Amino acid sequence: MIYESVDGVIYSREIGSSPESRKEVGWAYDPRTSDGRPLTDHLKDDQLWGEIRRAAATNESLKIQLERCKILYLLSKEYEDRHGRKT
Protein backbone atom coordinates (compact mmCIF):
# COMPACT_ATOMS: atom_id res chain seq x y z
CA MET A 1 0.00 0.00 0.00
CA ILE A 2 1.00 3.59 -0.59
CA TYR A 3 -0.12 6.25 1.88
CA GLU A 4 -0.40 9.87 0.73
CA SER A 5 -1.31 13.09 2.46
CA VAL A 6 -3.17 15.79 0.56
CA ASP A 7 -4.45 18.92 2.33
CA GLY A 8 -4.47 17.20 5.71
CA VAL A 9 -6.29 14.07 4.53
CA ILE A 10 -4.50 10.69 4.48
CA TYR A 11 -5.26 8.37 1.56
CA SER A 12 -4.19 4.82 0.75
CA ARG A 13 -3.94 3.01 -2.55
CA GLU A 14 -2.31 -0.11 -3.89
CA ILE A 15 1.18 0.14 -5.35
CA GLY A 16 0.94 0.68 -9.10
CA SER A 17 -2.63 1.98 -9.02
CA SER A 18 -3.63 5.45 -10.13
CA PRO A 19 -4.13 8.29 -7.62
CA GLU A 20 -7.82 8.30 -8.54
CA SER A 21 -8.25 4.86 -6.91
CA ARG A 22 -7.09 6.03 -3.49
CA LYS A 23 -9.34 5.82 -0.43
CA GLU A 24 -9.53 8.17 2.52
CA VAL A 25 -8.16 6.49 5.66
CA GLY A 26 -7.55 9.33 8.11
CA TRP A 27 -6.51 12.89 8.76
CA ALA A 28 -3.17 14.50 9.46
CA TYR A 29 -2.82 16.18 12.82
CA ASP A 30 -0.05 17.59 14.98
CA PRO A 31 -0.20 15.69 18.25
CA ARG A 32 1.69 17.19 21.14
CA THR A 33 3.47 15.10 23.71
CA SER A 34 3.55 15.56 27.47
CA ASP A 35 6.40 18.06 27.18
CA GLY A 36 4.53 20.16 24.60
CA ARG A 37 6.75 19.24 21.67
CA PRO A 38 5.25 17.85 18.46
CA LEU A 39 5.42 14.08 18.13
CA THR A 40 7.50 14.52 14.98
CA ASP A 41 10.28 16.11 17.07
CA HIS A 42 10.38 13.01 19.28
CA LEU A 43 10.47 10.75 16.23
CA LYS A 44 13.38 12.74 14.78
CA ASP A 45 15.23 12.50 18.10
CA ASP A 46 14.63 8.73 18.21
CA GLN A 47 15.92 8.40 14.67
CA LEU A 48 19.04 10.42 15.55
CA TRP A 49 19.75 8.31 18.65
CA GLY A 50 19.37 5.19 16.50
CA GLU A 51 21.93 6.54 14.06
CA ILE A 52 24.27 7.41 16.93
CA ARG A 53 23.97 3.89 18.40
CA ARG A 54 24.67 2.31 15.01
CA ALA A 55 27.66 4.58 14.44
CA ALA A 56 29.05 3.67 17.88
CA ALA A 57 29.48 0.09 16.68
CA THR A 58 32.43 1.22 14.55
CA ASN A 59 33.49 4.41 16.38
CA GLU A 60 35.28 3.65 19.65
CA SER A 61 35.19 7.26 20.94
CA LEU A 62 31.47 7.47 20.35
CA LYS A 63 30.98 4.08 21.99
CA ILE A 64 32.82 5.23 25.13
CA GLN A 65 30.78 8.43 25.37
CA LEU A 66 27.51 6.53 24.95
CA GLU A 67 28.52 4.20 27.79
CA ARG A 68 29.24 7.23 29.97
CA CYS A 69 25.84 8.68 29.06
CA LYS A 70 24.15 5.39 30.02
CA ILE A 71 25.93 5.36 33.36
CA LEU A 72 24.93 8.96 34.10
CA TYR A 73 21.32 8.19 33.17
CA LEU A 74 21.15 5.08 35.35
CA LEU A 75 22.74 6.84 38.33
CA SER A 76 20.35 9.79 37.96
CA LYS A 77 17.37 7.46 37.69
CA GLU A 78 18.45 5.52 40.77
CA TYR A 79 18.82 8.78 42.72
CA GLU A 80 15.36 9.94 41.63
CA ASP A 81 13.84 6.59 42.59
CA ARG A 82 15.41 6.69 46.05
CA HIS A 83 14.76 10.34 46.83
CA GLY A 84 11.64 11.04 44.81
CA ARG A 85 13.04 14.05 43.02
CA LYS A 86 14.46 15.00 39.68
CA THR A 87 18.13 15.85 39.21
The enclosing H or E element of 9 equals strand 9-13
Residue ranges of alpha helices (H) inside the chain are 39-56, 60-83
- Per the CB < 8 A criterion, the answer to whether 9 and 24 are in contact is yes
What is the value of pTM for the model shown?
0.55
Mean pLDDT of the chain: 89
Q: 84: pLDDT confidence band, cut at 50, 70 and 90?
A: confident
- Per the CB < 8 A criterion, the answer to whether 4 and 11 are in contact is yes
Residue 23 is classified by DSSP as: E
